[in-house]
Amino acid sequence: MAPAATTRTETDSLGSMEIPADAYWGIHTARALENFPISMRPISVYKDLVTALAMVKQASARANLEIGVLDAERADLIDRAAQRVIDGEFHDQFVVGVVQGGAGTSTNMNANEVITNIALELAGRPKGDYAYLSPIDHTNRSQSTNDVYPTAVKVGLSLDLKTLLEELDLLRQSFLAKAVEFHDILKIGRTQLQDAVPMTLGQEFHGFATTLGYDHQRLTENAYLLFEINMGATAIGTGITTHPGYAPAVLRHLREITGLDLATADDLVEATSDTGSFMSFSSTLKRNAIKLSKIANDLRLLSSGPQAGLGEINLPARQAGSSIMPGKVNPVIPEVVNQVAFSVAGADLTVTMAVEGGQLQLNAFEPIIAHSIFQSITWMRRAMRTFRINCVDGITANRERLGAMVGSSVGVVTALTPFIGYAASAALAKTALLTHRNVGDLVVEAGLMTRDEVDKQLSPARLSGLEAITQAIPVVQPAENLVES
């Protein structure tokens, strides 16, 4: 019995190549593997992009059957093959590099070849039997890379965004839980890294949660930027080689398959050449990343020390921090969040430059746009998860240190200015700094307020603004001896 062949021969307009017999991809993919050894990362690293490609091919098969340009048998085979990819099978066969020339043609052909060869197997035929079912004539019928690729990228990003938003909301809820836990802990707020007025640690963490909630809203609102597609445009937007009924049919099927509120662009020529929606969406991602980084910065500052820094909170100890200093523990989780934000900011610039680089009827640089945004979403999602699980959920407060800092802070005198006036408050603040005495005691000794009045106005609820001041006692002029020499 003869051994099974290890390769099969495939031919394109440039010649013939030997393809591994067990590969579901074909000659167009093989050429891309030779030509683009750049990122060394296959498109399968972005599973939602692969899923979206299969969704586009499935919708196209159904539309082509509906308008009568593809027979029922072949349409059904392509449909079933695409569904298997949507279900998570064969993703390892999507092997072309994420960074490639050709405006995404290699990615489109990788999808065409894989889905075609899956379909051939379903039909009981050998891989590469393209005379029966062709990657181009059948699986790519009524399509061009120039409408398939941007549509698949938009659908894939929309799918990816859902999981990002889920992680973002979980992180927001984690900060809210800490806000509740720390609601009664007074601390000194800071502006320009200098002591300001009191607040609660809970208010600080509630602010983190609120800003993440705003980002969730902005990302959700900007999702619509990804919903305008150009299926039916084919090469440059004129719809050459397509049936007039294809565009509305493929839109309807793709909406049903994806569950997304997709719409066909009004001007397919414009939509095929313009990539501004990717730039706008990337900018919103950058906003979220930068704000996450700011929160990470704050947590690193608040936890600095533990002895010679602010030391207001404790971050969970995740790993030893030094190969030379015993016992040192670094804020490694906020640090990795910072680095992800730096990467997202850089990726946004890449997207901006790629959008600007488009020429005439097509932007050839959509692969780097897709890679940049998919990587940003992927890394942000992972960063949010580790931030929540390995950092925020385990944060504790140094209550005694915070209490001591509030008790000795001259910032609390601000709460007394409505009652004793700014000049007296400034004099008392100077005295407190020089003598290291309690501000409340100095106010009482100066006869400006009674002990009960001072205690009421310097209560945690009043200092943090949780309880409003309803009335003021008459302002007392400062005595000449308020400032000690």
| Number of C-beta neighbours around residue 61 at 10 A | 28
Q: Which residue, among 223, 357, 219, 215, has the nearest Cα to 292 in the 3D structure?
A: 215
Strand 313-314 relative to strand 396-397: parallel, antiparallel, unpaired? antiparallel
- Report the SS3 class of residue 309: coil
In which residue are the tokens 């302002």 written?
Answer: 475
Mention every residue, 6+ apart, whose C-beta is less than 8 A from residue 455: 440
Q: Catalytic one among 39, 277, 322, 343? A: 322
Please say whether the beta carbons of 76 and 55 come within 8 A. no
Backbone angles phi, psi at 198, to 5 degrees: -70, 155
Say how far apart CA 127 and CA 133 lie, in whole Å. 10
Please say whether the beta carbons of 285 and 292 come within 8 A. no
Cβ burial, residue 281 (10 Å; 0-12/13-18/19+): buried
372 belongs to the catalytic site: no
Cβ burial, residue 294 (10 Å; 0-12/13-18/19+): middle
C-alpha separations of 240 from 232, 233, 269 in Å: 9, 8, 12
Tell me which H or E stretch contains 263. strand 263-264
Please say whether the beta carbons of 85 and 116 come within 8 A. no
| Number of C-beta neighbours around residue 135 at 10 A | 25
Where b means 16+ CB within 10 Å and e means fewer, 71-94 reads: eeebbbbbbbbbbbbbeeebbebb
Q: How far apart are the first and last CA of the chain?
A: 108
Backbone angles phi, psi at 24, to 5 degrees: -90, -15
Point out the residues that are catalytic.
322
